[in-house]
Each structure stands twice: as C-alpha cells, then as structure tokens.
Structure 1
Amino acid sequence: MGAGPFRFQRDIVAASHRSNTTIGWLLASPLAIVLVLFLVLPIVMIVVVSFWGATEFSIYPAFQLDNYEFLFASPVTYTVFLNTLMYTVITWACCLLIGFTVAYFLAFHVHSLTWQIALFLLCTIPFWTSNIIRMISWVPFLGRNGIANQSLIGMGVVNEPVEWLLFSDFAVILAFVHLYALFMVVPIFNTMMRIDRSLLEAARDAGASGFQTLTNIIIPLTTPGIMIGSIFVVTLVMGDFITVRFMSGSQSANVGRLISNDVALLQYPSAAATSVVLLLTVLIVIGIMLRFVNIRKEL
C-alpha cells in the first residue's frame, strides 16, 4: 500500500523526463535538418563523386580509385600542399602576433569601455567592404610604380623599384594577414576580458615582473582564445584560392587553386577527390590543435 504513491510519483517524473526529451528534440530538429541538408549531404556527395570516373567529354558514376591514385602519384600535388601549408603557417604566426598584441592593448591598456568599443570598431572598418576589394587595394600600393616603391626610392632606400612586393608569396601572405587577422583578435580579446584582474594584482604584489605575469598568467588563460582564432585562420587560409590567384599573379598555387582549376575544366571527380584530401588535412590539423587545449569551456 505504501509503495503506490512512490510508484505514482516515479511515473510522473519519468513522464516529465520523456516530455522534456521530446521537446528538446523538437527544438533541435530545425537546426539538425538544416545541417543535414546543407552540410552533411553536400560532403557526402563530394565523397561519392570523388570515386566517379571522367573522360574529356563526360562524367560517369563508378567506384574507382583513379582520382586518388592520380592525385597522390603527381609531384605537383605535394608541391601544392606544401605551398598551402607554408602560407598557412606563416599567416597563422603573423596573425597570432598581431592579434595577441592588439587584444592585449585593448584589454589591459585601454581602461575606458567607450574607448575599447571605439577602437574595436575601428579594427572592423575594413570588414565593411568585400574581401576582394580589400585584397585588390594592395595592388596599386605594392606595384612597380606604387606608393611603397615610390616611397622607398624617394627615401633613398633603393635605387629601383622592388619587384617582389607584388605578384609574389610576400604579397599573398600580406593579403592573407590583412584579410584574416581580425579572426584572431576577436577570440583572444574575448578571452582576455574574462581574466580576473585580481590575479594580475596578486602577481604584482608577489613581485612578479610584467614578463612573468604575461607568460605565467595571461598566456595560459588566453590559450582557448588563441586556439579558436587559430582554427578560424587555418581553415580560411587553407580553403582560400582567389587571394593566391590575384596576389601571386597566377605564379603560385595552393590546394584551393588546384580545385578551382579542376572545376573550370569540368573535372568534377578530380576536384572532389582533392577536396576530400584537403578536408581531411584540415580536420587533422584542427584535431592536433585541440589536443593542446579544451575549448569547450570557451564555447
């Protein structure tokens, strides 16, 4: 007799739990449907097409490894992937240096919230225009008769225009840093603003120098923001192709450019195979970065 009320209460709790679970699934279903339709299915289709065959005039469904065999047998593939990794590593290092410096200045040297917002918005002004416009704006500045060369000649630094300023790897990396540095500033600044200022005061009271405070408190606590910014920069640079095309003067290439060329030639299976390899490479790089820090608490 005494067990009846407890069983009834348990049934009510179980029914409430099932109801909450159902409501949770219903609330999550629209986003899940969107992700399946516009993320999962396209990736699945790319993987499927990467095994298809192609001739000069047609594409036919099949399951063969010809596209991957050709991709890994070509020395051009390894050269292009190494070039892509070079762009990625150098751009990441430059963006990290700039992003950390800017975020540190805004977080710890600008004490007025109004000025922090104003300076942060100032950093976002270039993003009010398209990437292509911001990228092409470097051409008249870096060109043979551009502002940079004219200034160097006028100051007597060089006697003739510097040729490698434009249509070179330097121009590509400069454009990458210009385009994607803000993606490093934002997460680092957000993480720095969450640091308890009493920790810094305690470090100063304990006699720690500014460098010791930076290396033992600020950098370790900022690591999640650094990792988030690194993921943004790495994925954007490795997938970019238009910047390499314009800023190198078509003299250099990355994996995105390789895919773009295959698409232009209607070689979709080959482009799909390259895309799959690029996707796996990006996932491996991100997986390695996530091994060093847990960013779930930051998200």
Structure 2
Amino acid sequence: MATDFYDTLGIARDATADDIQRAYRRLARRYHPDVNSDPGAEDRFKEVSQAYEVLSDPAQRSRYDQFGADFRRVAVDADRPRGTSATQGFQGIDIEDLLSGLFRGRGPIPGADQEAVLELTVEEAYRGGHRRLTLPGTDRQYDVTVPPGVLDGQRIRLAGEGGRGAGDAPAGDLYLVVRIRPHPRYRLSGRDIHLTLPVTPWEAALGSTVPVTTPGGEVKVRVTAGSSSGRRLRLRGEGMPNPRGTAGDLYAEVRVMVPKHLTRRERELFEELAAVSEFTPRRT
C-alpha cells in the first residue's frame, strides 16, 4: 500500500470513470505477461490491476479517498456484490477479451521497449569500445559497442533486444542509459574535463612545462611564470571526444604545493629566499 493507486495508473485524483478505464486498458496492454516478457512486467501488471479494481468501484474508491492505506479496514456494505474473478470483475473489462482483442482486432503487438543502466568510468566513456553486458537479475548477455565520448544520460540503442512481440510482431528495443561513475581526478561538465594540476613553487614562479594525465593519455601543458593557485589552463580539444562535432576542452587548475618535510638544504634555500624577497601576497 506504499504506492498511491492514482500514481500507479498515472491519473489525477479527480479522474472520471472513463479516465480510469482508459488508463487501465493502456497499462494492461503494456504490462500483461502475455505481451511483455520483461522480468518486472508481471509485478507491474498486478499493481495496475489492483489499483484499477479499487478505483473503478465507486464504494471502494470513496473509502480509499477518505482513509488511504487503511481503506480495507473500513466495513464494506453488505449489499455489495462479491466474488468477482480477476478476469471478469474489473467493472466491465474482461482481461481475456482485452488481450484477445489485441491479437485479433489490432493484429500483432510489437514488443515493449526496455531500459537498463550501463555504468562506465570516465576513461571508458572517453575511449569507447566493446563491452560484454549482463542485465542484473537475468542471464541475458549483450555485446555493446560504446561510442567514444559518450556522456552521462545518453542512451545506446540495441535494436530488437527489448520485450518480445506478440504474434509475428518484432521485439522492442533495449536502451542502455549511460551513467558515468564519479572519478577522483576528473570532473565532467558536458564535454569539458576539469582537473587539478599540482605544481611546485618554483614551477609556478619561474614557469615550466609539466605533464598532465588525461583520460586519453599524457599531454604537456605550459605553466606561465607567476602562476598562483586557482589559475586555469585551457587545453583546447583535449576534453571528451565528439564523433559528430567538436571535442570538449580540458581545464587544468593550478594548485601550488609545498614539501611537507624539508631537507636541511631545502630549508636553507627557503630561508634565504624569505630573507631577500620583497614579495608580500597579503599587500593591499
């Protein structure tokens, strides 16, 4: 009873009897086990049927609207007909007739489209390639071609790998929704890649060319002399690839790092620098 019956049928609380019946017919055609072979379809069909059984009966609907999940504890009118069957009792809708009408009157029914999640690392999304995927809770395996530069939320279509069709109708499609896992080094913003670039005080002060590890491999970046922490360096075209257009950019944010433990000579040099330098970063 945790699920609201109105939400189950996808209707408003002031829906008419015709609205309820139309919603039920649409969902029954979609989720009936004879039409949809998805592992969760049968449970979904039962939820839809239960919601329709209650909301299509004015007396039960009234009690449900008043008492919510506790409506079954309220006394039922003794004159109300009882004993209706699962296939005959839904206020004039015969499930067997509904399904036979699908096959006879409307011809073959195409299989339902299905969705599953495909998790990738940033590196896998950057490179693309082939993946062997097994759907959770099933023994169904698929060879998936991941295009390079795929983004979080994009869908990869596997034609004909969805729910089975009825009669001679084709199967539906399986859509793999890409989810890119959080990465300790890279942050994605569209096709742009952001990362932190640690540099030494002397590399920042004097300028230097330093290596940067990207999802596509190592590249070199020029740190301009006098760079402070927070400065962003842009590497055009080094972000996520785009098979249909311009690749994203890579942004490396400078972070000046100092040794945690100094050798005797390092300390001497820093002390000498402190003695001769007139630089004061807190000067206004």
**TM-score, normalising length from structure 2?**
0.22
The structure with more radius of gyration? 2
The structure whose RCO (Cα within 8 Å, separation 6+) is larger is 1
Greater per-residue helix proportion: 1
Greater per-residue strand proportion: 2
**TM-score, normalising length from structure 1?**
0.21
